[in-house]
Amino acid sequence: MEPVECVDKMMRLGIPDAQARIYMALLYKREMSAIEIQEITDVPRTKVYEITQQMVLRGLCIEKKIGRTKKFQAVEPRRALETLMHEQKRELQSKKNLVQEIDEYLMPLYAEGMQKRELSDNIEILKDMKAIHERYINLVKSTHTSMLAFAKPPSAHMNMTYRIRQQMNALFGILKQGIEVRMLFELADKRYMDAEAIRIQQLIKSGCQARILEQIPIKAYVFDNTYVLMALENPPTETQPLTMIVVTHKSLATAFGFLFNYLWNEAKDTQIYDLLRRSKYITNA
């Protein structure tokens, strides 16, 4: 591992850039004065004292006084990292306690507000493809128990690589949490079969359950048996290829669940593997 890469990983652990660079320098030189630290790391001398004091408090280094000169020495890495992990665990527990306190205060306010909601507050209309894409990502990431997908064209990612990656990463994220994801794919348009087959294979390997139908009656997604993201048929005069609505309605979500299970039973597991075998981009499927 290169020093720059190590500093980057330390920053991802919550160690600021300057602290990480000073710690690495102290490892190489054993012990240094503030002037030596400034010369090697380019951290301004006026900041070195402040930063090293923070590092002493965090258990990353120790301060020694030799005559009138202060020297700083790195703490053994394993010990320093263990101290850092304990610090982060305490911070995490503190945040959990704060979340619980805030939740206990806010939930009654939310419940009271929900009683005053108009019916129209349960419906959100999305016409812009970017807005649909972002709302879908948000709904996926907010899923706690289950997600059902009636996946059929057109798609809000519009075959844009970065949008596809964002949608896939959101799905991988909830699959990693053990959340149930079942997806029905309509692949009547053979032009997209190979590209879709790759994504389906990746999802299956990550724990997603998937089946294929030649035709699906509606494009829709059901999250936590509460939120329904569904497509509307655009009039011929509409310039956008897709309009979708988000409906917060448990009974509607349950009805979509019944439809999904009916179509799921109509589909066959073997069809998904036949698709993967036929795809020219996938081997050993």
Highest mean pLDDT among 69-78, 171-180, 260-269: 171-180
Q: Are 133 and 106 found together in one domain?
A: no
Q: How far apart are CA 45 and CA 29, in angstroms?
A: 18
Strands 146-151 and 180-186: parallel
Q: Are 273 and 137 found together in one domain?
A: yes
Task: Quick: pLDDT tens for 180-207.
Answer: 999 998 875 566 566 677 888 889 999 9
Asked whether the whole model's pTM tops 0.75, one would answer: no
Q: Are 130 and 270 found together in one domain?
A: yes
Q: Are 207 and 149 found together in one domain?
A: yes
pLDDT of residue 107: 81
The DSSP H or E segment spanning 5 is: helix 3-12
Q: How far apart are CA 183 and CA 171, in angstroms?
A: 11
pLDDT of residue 51: 93
Q: What contacts 172, CB < 8 A, 6 or more positions away?
A: 206
Q: How far apart are CA 25 and CA 31, in angstroms?
A: 9
The residue that leads in pLDDT, 275 or 170, is 170
**Structural domain for 80, as ranges:** 1-116
Residue 225 above 90 pLDDT?
yes
Lowest mean per-residue pLDDT among 17-21, 108-112, 180-184, 208-212: 108-112
pLDDT of residue 10: 87
Q: For residue 240, give Cα distances in angstroms to 125, 127, 139, 163.
A: 13, 7, 22, 17
Task: Quick: pLDDT tens for 254-281.
Answer: 999 999 999 999 886 655 656 555 554 4
Q: Please, what is the average pLDDT of the chain?
A: 84
User: How large a percentage of the chain has pLDDT more than 90?
Assistant: 33
Q: Are 56 and 130 found together in one domain?
A: no
Nearest to 213 by CA among 236, 249, 188: 188
Query: Does residue 284 lie within any of the structural domains?
Result: no
What 3-state DSSP class applies to 151?
Answer: strand
Q: How far apart are CA 276 and CA 285, in angstroms?
A: 6
Nearest to 84 by CA among 23, 3, 26: 23
- Res. 282 pLDDT band, cuts 50 70 90: very low
Q: Are 85 and 188 found together in one domain?
A: no
Query: Does residue 285 lie within any of the structural domains?
Result: no
* Count of structural domains within the chain: 2
Q: How far apart are CA 218 and CA 195, in angstroms?
A: 21
Burial of 232 (0-12, 13-18, 19+ CB in 10 A): middle
Q: How far apart are CA 269 and CA 215, in angstroms?
A: 16
Residue 230 above 90 pLDDT?
yes
Lowest mean per-residue pLDDT among 104-118, 131-145, 236-250: 104-118
pLDDT of residue 263: 93
The residue that leads in pLDDT, 279 or 13, is 13
Q: Are 135 and 256 found together in one domain?
A: yes
- The residues with which 64 forms a beta bridge, in sequence order, are 71
Q: Are 196 and 129 found together in one domain?
A: yes
